[in-house]
């Protein structure tokens, strides 16, 4: 692999293409989701090996509840299977696990397994792996607005003091830095309601590779591409130099 000097601190991935991958194999969609676990494992390993501090994976959106019940149920079982199978490895690699989104509608067993795993790994100090589950950026922002309005009503905040920092403190990701690099697999060119606030100045990278086929080499290509970009954050090239 070509040497990389500048790694993103926070990498986020929209893991897309499982269904199409399965269809190509003549299998049901859930087979694609099961096969995608290898890509998750390789991505986590890469982040550990290269000291990428934060990895956020879009695992299940608020809109995904609209999928057929048989697929949703299979995804919940797959989440439980993943957590139980990978818990030991995550712990051995000093990985902290967290989740963003709403777990209200999650089956009891899936929710309990997730929270138990998060608690088991809470004292780890390596990379932070965040699973976006029952997550939607518009819902996140709506919830933040409601909570800020309630705080104003109760005299905890004045409207004059509401700024980006205050808004950020009410988001699910309040303890995470903004995303440096957002990757979406499968050839789709959209954000799909993912981390809309947090990617304001992120670099975006789209690849035609379907998620189950995504591996360390593909991730390395994405990060090499990221390394060659000039992140100006509203400034000019001359100012940066």
**pLDDT (tens digit, 9 = 90+) per residue, 73-129?**
999 999 999 999 999 999 999 999 999 999 999 999 999 999 999 999 999 999 999
Share of residues in the chain with pLDDT > 70 (%): 94
Query: Cβ contacts of residue 65 below 8 Å, gap of 6+?
Result: 72, 105, 134
Q: Would you please indicate which residues are annotated as catalytic (active-site) residues?
A: 16, 64
Ligand-binding annotation for 53, yes or no, is: no
Kindly compute the dihedral angle of the four CA atoms of residues 235, 238, 239, 240, in this order, to the nearest 10 degrees.
Answer: 90
Q: What is the pTM of this model?
A: 0.94
Ligand-binding annotation for 197, yes or no, is: no
The answer to whether 131 and 54 are in contact (CB under 8 A) is no
Ligand-binding annotation for 62, yes or no, is: yes
Residue 238: its pLDDT value, please?
Answer: 61
Q: Domain map of the chain by residue range?
A: 10-136+178-229
| CATH for 10-136+178-229 (3.40.1180.10, 3.40.190.10, 3.30.420.40, 1.10.3720.10) | 3.40.1180.10
Q: Checking phi first, is residue 55 left (phi over 0); if not, alpha (psi -120 to 50) or beta?
A: beta
Rounded Cα distance, 152 and 144, in Å: 12
Tens digit of each residue's pLDDT (9 = 90 or more) over 170-212: 999 999 999 999 999 999 999 999 999 999 999 999 999 999 9
Ligand-binding annotation for 63, yes or no, is: yes
């Amino acid at each position: 692999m070509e040497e990389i000097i500048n790694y993103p601190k926070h990498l986020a991935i929209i893991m897309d293409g499982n269904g199409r991958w399965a269809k190509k194999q003549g299998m049901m969609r859930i087979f694609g989701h099961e096969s995608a676990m290898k890509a998750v494992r390789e991505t986590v390993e890469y982040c550990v090996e290269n000291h990428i501090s934060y990895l956020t994976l879009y695992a299940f959106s608020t809109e995904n509840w609209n999928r057929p019940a048989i697929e949703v149920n299979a995804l919940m079982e797959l989440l439980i299977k993943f957590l139980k199978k990978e818990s030991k490895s995550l712990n051995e690699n000093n990985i902290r696990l967290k989740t963003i989104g709403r777990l209200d509608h999650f089956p009891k067993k899936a929710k309990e397994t997730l929270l138990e795993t998060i608690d088991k790994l809470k004292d780890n100090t390596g990379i932070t792996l965040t699973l976006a589950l029952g997550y939607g950026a518009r819902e996140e922002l709506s919830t933040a607005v409601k909570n800020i309005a309630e705080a104003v009503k109760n005299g905890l905040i004045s409207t004059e003091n509401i700024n980006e920092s205050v808004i950020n403190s009410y988001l699910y990701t309040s303890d995470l830095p903004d995303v440096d690099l957002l990757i979406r697999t499968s050839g789709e060119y959209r954000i799909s309601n993912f981390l809309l606030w947090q990617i304001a100045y992120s670099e975006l990278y789209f690849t035609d590779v379907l998620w189950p086929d995504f591996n360390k080499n593909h991730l390395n290509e994405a990060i090499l591409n990221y390394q060659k970009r000039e992140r100006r954050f509203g400034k000019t090239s001359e100012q940066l130099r």
